[in-house]
Structure 1
Amino acid sequence: MTDTFGSRILEGKVAFVAGGTRGMNLQIARRYAEHGAKVAVLSRNQERVDAAVDELKQIGGEVRGYAGDVRDYDQIDAAMKATAAELGNIDLVVAGQAGNFYAPAAEMSANGFKAVVDIDLVGTFNVFRASYDVLNKRGASMIAITAPEAVRPLNFQAHVCAAKAGVNMLIKVLALEWGPEGVRVNGISPGPIEGSWGMENVVSPTQEMKDHIGQSMPLRRWGTVDDVADSALFLSSDAASYITATILDTDGGAVISVPNTDKADKNDVRVKGRGHKVE
């Protein structure tokens, strides 16, 4: 647990973390719980939900878990209402769900493209919109997990680039519309994060590749799930009370420095043999 911000700065807050059962998003849920928040997590897999709830309860405080698909608005709406009924109206919302796989656009199915857009972009709207009716609006913080692909085109990532660019603009529009009510809307854009679901299951880098990526970045290292969780804690805290419509690049400089993204090689290890992986 980090002590950068002192202790229990979210005491009494209610947090909802979509995709919060593993990787970066689970670490965000842990960080919220460590700092006194009541936490609800959501994922499509009931077993992962149960495991995350059990772990978070060990930290202390009230915890709830729901199985649901962010692409189904009714399921998300029901989870939000249940959270508010059991824990109180919501103060902190994280839309952290993601889908990804590597494929050349000319070989990608329409369904594959749509699946990622539905999970990343439509899912973010569903999470934010469903939470809106049960928010403690004055002081509420919403965070979407976006990606460098939102602003940097990458081969084999047409679906992710399109979806995350939409997420970035959705963040800004909602910040504009909901700001007068006291709601802040921001994004976190992680770079290569050690132990994240995407890097472990979609990229599956070799040690050589990991070393190369790390040495290609200004800070010369991969990020950690703690780096992302601390960014979320900051954006959710009073220290960020005048910050909205901001995309916080928690990436060690990756968005400006990772080389060789212009080489479209269909034999790239990321493409060969990778299935349709979604969170």
Structure 2
Amino acid sequence: MKYDSVFKPGLFAGETHVVTGGGSGIGRCIAHELAALGAHVAIVGRKAEKLDAVAAEIEEDGGSVSRHVLDIREEDDVKRVVGEILAGTGGVHGLVNNAGGQFPSPLAGISAKGFETVVRTNLTGGFLVARELFNQHMNKRGGNIVNIIADMWEGMPGMGHSGAARAGMLNLTQTAAVEWAPAGVRVNAVAPGWVASSGLDTYTDPFVKSMIPRLKDSVPLKRLATEAEVSSAVCFLLSPGAAFITGDCIRVDGGAPCNSRMYPLQDHDRSKPYNGFHRYKAPASLVGDDG
């Protein structure tokens, strides 16, 4: 079996795309789809074993991939690894700033260190990777950048540090879209809502775990997104079909922010998910639930 993408075969043939956080979850899925569409994919992450596993999958499926261990929060390391990727590939056509992470906590319980760590992971690190790719390559050759943010439109109670960082990344996206347009660089964002991805299994707090199966109840489409549905939005923004789109954000959230809480949502099963990712496995937190 191979990735069943909705896009034409060979869409990214001859191109190189960088995916941060490519060792698991949504990033893993995006890397697989890009490779299935002909791209050489440079996957970046902090844990070599995760990158090795995804690289082996992509190679087994006939794709082209390289893996690069990097903590995107470390400026000197970002400069070095971006240089290595460029030296090894001759150029980069697209960047998917997917790496991120957070922990649940009310604002009153977040230390300065905890807050700063989440901001560095979800905002500063993405900025550093984008800046280096621009300064080292895209300022002369052009390219596309897609920043993965989150559904933070009405605040993010319980994860205020992440919400602040993601909102900052959206503003950074809009700013970069203007400043880097003369170089032929488009910069956009994708904001996933609740996704049935392995990231759900990183939350160990009993209360949070108990909430996960009920997340769909607040979504008008009455389900969670698949990883492939997020990847499709990313691939579209990287494609020539999005050539006149920059500084924008595609929400992949099932309409959750549109729910006013005053209008009763009706139960239904009319929204049928798309899942072209042949290696997808449901997170343990949703096993036994229809997701």
Q: TM-score range by the shorter chain?
A: 0.7 to 0.9
Distance 1:116 1:212 in 2: 25
Question: 2:145 aligned to 125, 142, 147, which one?
Answer: 142
Residue aligning to 1:248: 250
Cα distance in 1, alignment partners of residues 144 and 163 from structure 2: 25
- C-alpha RMSD of matched pairs (Å): 2.0
* CA deviation map 1:117-143 (0-9, x unaligned): 011110110110111112385551101
- For 1:46 and 1:210, the matched residues in 2 are separated by 29
Equivalent in the alignment of 2:203: 202
- Counterpart selection for 2:193 from 187, 191, 210: 191
Q: Residue 175 of structure 1 is aligned with which of 174, 177, 192?
A: 177
**Alignment length (residue pairs):** 257
2:113 aligned residue (100, 111, 114): 111
Q: Which residue of 1 aligns with 2:54?
A: 52
Contact 2:20 2:99 in 1 (8 A): yes
Please list, as runs of the form range in 1=range in 2, the aligned pairs for 1:58-69 lying within 5 A after superposition.
58-69=60-71
Assess, with a 3 A threshold, how the Cα gap between structure 1 residues 3 and 56 changes in structure 2: closer, same or farther.
closer
Q: Which residue of 2 aligns with 1:27?
A: 29
Which range is displaced more, 214-223 or 131-140?
Answer: 131-140
Q: How far, CA to CA, are the matches of 2:137 and 2:261 in structure 1?
A: 44
- Residue aligned with 2:188, SS: strand
TM superposition shift of 1:62: 2.8
Per-residue Cα deviation, 1:126-183 (whole angstroms, up to 9, x for no partner): 110111112385551101110112x221222221111111100000000000011110
The answer to whether the Cα contact below 8 Å between 2:14 and 2:38 also exists between their aligned partners in 1 is yes
User: Structure 2: where are the runs of 5+ without partners?
Assistant: 263-291
The alignment-based identity, stated in percent, is: 32
Structure 1 residues 259 and 192 mapped into 2: Cα distance closer, same or farther (>3 Å)? farther
For the residue of structure 1 that corresponds to 2:137, the secondary structure is coil
Query: What whole-Å deviation, never above 9, does each CA across 1:68-107 have from its counterpart, x for those lacking one?
Result: 1010012122221111111221001011111211112112
Q: Which residue identity lines up with residue 47 of structure 1 in the other structure?
A: E
Report the 3-state secondary structure (helix = DSSP H, G, I; strand = E; otherwise coil) of the residue aligned with 1:2. coil
Q: Which of 161, 164, 179 lines up with 1:162 in the alignment?
A: 164
User: Within 2, Cα distance between the matches of 1:153 and 1:147?
Assistant: 11
Distance 1:135 1:217, change over 3 A: same
Distance 1:172 1:203, change over 3 A: farther
Return the TM-score normalized by structure 2: 0.83
- Counterpart in the other structure of 1:39: 41
Deviation at 1:248, TM superposition (A): 0.7
Alignment of 1:66-77 (within 5 A): 66-77=68-79
3-state SS of the aligned residue for 1:142? strand
